[in-house]
Amino acid sequence: MRFIHMADMHLDGAFESLASKPNLAKERRMEQRRVMKEIVEYIKKENIPYFFIAGDLYEQDYIKKSSIEYINKLFEEIPNTLIFITPGNHDPYIKNSFYKQFNWSKNVHIFSEELSIVELKNADIYGYGFNDFYMPNKYHNIEIKNKNKINILITHGSLDGGNDENKQYNPLTSKELKQMDFDYIALGHIHKASYKDYENQHIVYPGSTVSLGFDELGPRGVIEGNIDENTKKLELKFIQTSAKTFEERNIDIANINDEEELIEELNELNLDENKYYKIILIGQRNFEIKLSNLLSLVKQINIVKIKNHTKIKYNIEDIAKQISLKGIFARNILEKMKDAKEDEKEKLINSFEIGMDVLN
């Protein structure tokens, strides 16, 4: 039994992390469509009979009907593939959901909040999804109807999450899921792939299909699985999509003397055109850094974010101990920083550096 398992595409997402560069968010949404087509083309080429989508296929707050029509046309191109979708917390099965309001292709089965079973010749597919943007887990013990068949569970939820936030998203535990004795459990919600973390793993997250930001670094894709119908042996492999990925790169600016030199350095970086980059500036800085101006002056289109983690060249605490005009100035800055917010603290530090340069 061969299948593709994907989750967390978040079609038509806002891509706020790309908002700093014109049109990149829109390009990313176009890339989501392209990746969906890529996955369907792979299914078509490999004659894969089952396609599991474990939630957050789209963003309820942003999804356009045209995007639903686009992916449904793709589903119609693989009529011999049975497609099972379980709604997640970003695309819940609510009154105005496209899961309820749209006429989907005949090969698509959408699970609701109630646990149900689709009985096939050699396999039973169990599933349930979100009926709201938050949902507790109400299925702590699912009884398998026919253990002689291949049994698969598809749902969306947080696995082994201990904090209160995770308890709002269909909380699951590995212990309970293993006791249910499914041959494969297709999960969504966690954006990091988990399929070979331990021996004989059958509780699987494919991760997000397309990176949504810099908290999702590295390759993205889907899981291809095969379960032997006689032995029930499970084989898994990760299929990476061609979508651009996100990467962070540290740049030490200790030997850079001014903003112009920094911009030149950034423009000469050898970057992979199939990646988006966050540049993290580190080291001791020799000049004031104005991030708002800096990004707009960098010509490298794949640099979409710059963070300043540099250290000032003055030790404000040591200078505050001095009995001098510099000491008075440093103590005044430290006093203002006590109750200041983070962005205000950064401005105060910048003011301190400028002041010290004037006083030197």
Q: What is the DSSP string of 296-311?
A: HH---TTEEEEEE--B
What is the DSSP-derived secondary structure letter of residue 49?
-
Q: Which segments of the chain have a pLDDT < 50?
A: none
CB atoms within 10 A of CB 165: 10
Residue among 82, 2, 67 at smallest CA distance from 37: 67
CB atoms within 10 A of CB 37: 15
Amino acid residing at 146: N
Query: What pLDDT is stored for residue 286 in this prediction?
Result: 82
Q: Which residues pair with 135 in a beta bridge?
A: 169
Round to whole Å and give the CA distance between 158 and 127: 15
Q: Are 316 and 330 in contact (CB under 8 A)?
A: yes
Residue among 18, 12, 28, 22 at smallest CA distance from 220: 28
Give 273-295 pLDDT, tens digit per residue: 999 999 999 998 888 788 878 88
H/E run at residue 86: none
Query: What pLDDT is stored for residue 355 in this prediction?
Result: 85
H/E run at residue 240: strand 234-240
Q: What is the pTM of this model?
A: 0.85
Query: What pLDDT is stored for residue 23 in this prediction?
Result: 83
Round to whole Å and give the CA distance between 294 and 307: 10
Residue among 8, 150, 3 at smallest CA distance from 84: 3
CB atoms within 10 A of CB 334: 15
Domain annotation for the chain: domains and CATH numbers: 2-240 (3.60.21.10), 245-359 (no CATH)
Query: What pLDDT is stored for residue 84 in this prediction?
Result: 98
Residue among 38, 98, 27 at smallest CA distance from 68: 98
Round to whole Å and give the CA distance between 91 and 11: 10
What is the DSSP-derived secondary structure letter of residue 142?
P
Query: What pLDDT is stored for residue 82 in this prediction?
Result: 98
Q: What are phi and psi of 182, to 5 degrees?
A: -75, 150
Tokens standing for residue 286? 């020799």
Round to whole Å and give the CA distance between 90 and 57: 8
Give 81-102 pLDDT, tens digit per residue: 999 999 999 999 999 999 999 9
Is the sign of the CA dihedral 207, 212, 217, 218 positive or negative? positive
Residue 279's SS3 state is strand
Amino acid residing at 92: P
User: Residues 6 or more apart from 33 whose CB is under 8 A from it?
Assistant: 11, 67, 70, 71
Q: Which residues pair with 28 in a beta bridge?
A: none
Helix axes 325-337, 342-359, angle to 10 degrees: 170
Query: What pLDDT is stored for residue 164 in this prediction?
Result: 63
Q: Which residue has the tokens 């292709």?
A: 105
